[in-house]
Amino acid sequence: MPDPIIIVLIAIVLIVIVIIARNIRVVQQAKAYVVERLGAYSTTWSVGLHFKIPFIERVAKIVSLKEQVADFPPQPVITKDNVTMQIDTVVYFEITDPKLYTYGIENPMTAIENLSATTLRNIIGDLELDQCLTSRDIINSKMRSILDVATDPWGIKVNRVELKNILPPKEIQNAMEKQMKAERERREAILKAEGEKRAAILSAEGEKESAILRADAKKQAAILEAEGRAEAILKVQQATAEGLKLLNDANPTDSVIKIRALEAFAAAANGQATKIIIPSEIQGLAGLAEGIVESVKK
């Protein structure tokens, strides 16, 4: 039968091992443990292996160091022109000091929600409805700056604040929709008028260019025709000059000259003249030519 003392020793050893095992803590990445000793803050454990003194130290709070998102329900706010809207916000924050986060304020999330609601009311109260709808970036920037300063003593850093939804009253929404519809119709009418104007301008320009091209074509045709006539006249004159030069070079007799004159009159008549006046010299030459022809026939 085992000795009772040995059993007691074994039991004590097991209890000690269990106590030691239960007081060994491994802090994970992006976590921080706030440790108290005899009810007072002692230290903050970061990532790694740590040992807690049994019955003297305790882990007061486990804090996540990741960036967190707080989505708050819609809050009623009143604009400068007395329009009541529902606006819900989203706050992105992270804990930079676990000690301040643990001991700085009770219920930090509730504090951030109430602070964001009051800050939003103060900012929206200085803006009119149209400014609220078109100045989200300005509102977000102001809220982030104010919340970041206010939450700094709590060990919290506010990174971003976003207005998730802005919900005006139903009648305001209907009026805005009608205004937007009228604006779209106005823009459509302007675009249509500009299109028709542009089409008319293009059509007129096309007709103008077509008329210019037709006139230019007629002008070019007239120029070419005139140039052709001038060139033909020049050729005729050159041929005549060449003929006269050849005649002069050949020293023609009076009879030859008179025959050439007769040929010129015949060409002038061209078979269509009803009356031709022939000089006496050419008439004599014609009689001479007739006599020569009769003698040849005999």
DSSP 74-96: PEEEE-TTS-EEEEEEEEEEEES
The CA–CA distances, whole Å, from 256 to 70, 251, 252, 259, 269 equal 128, 10, 6, 5, 20
pLDDT band at residue 293, thresholds of 50, 70 and 90? very low
pTM, 2 dp = 0.56
pLDDT in tens, 149-182: 999 999 999 999 998 888 887 877 777 777 778 8
Burial 107-142 (b: 16+ CB within 10 A, else e): ebeebbbebbbebbeebbeebebeebeebeeebbeb
Structure tokens at 72: 């708050």
DSSP helix/strand/coil, 24:
strand
**How much is the pLDDT for 259?**
61
**How much is the pLDDT for 8?**
81
pLDDT band at residue 261, thresholds of 50, 70 and 90? low
Residue 292 has pLDDT above 80, yes or no: no
Question: Domain 68-168 has what CATH class?
Answer: alpha beta
C-alpha 193/C-alpha 203 separation (Å) is 15
DSSP helix/strand/coil, 53:
coil
Mean pLDDT of 256-264: 60
Mean pLDDT of 235-244: 75
**How much is the pLDDT for 244?**
66
Residue 274 has pLDDT above 60, yes or no: no
**How much is the pLDDT for 257?**
61
Ranges of each domain in the chain: 4-64, 68-168, 173-251, 252-298
SS (H, E, C) 148-207: HHHHHHHCEEEEEEEEEEEECCHHHHHHHHHHHHHHHHHHHHHHHHHHHHHHHHHHHHHH
Residue 10 has pLDDT above 60, yes or no: yes
**How much is the pLDDT for 142?**
92
pLDDT in tens, 107-157: 888 999 999 999 999 999 888 888 888 888 899 999 999 999 999 999 999
Residue 217 has pLDDT above 90, yes or no: no
**How much is the pLDDT for 24?**
87
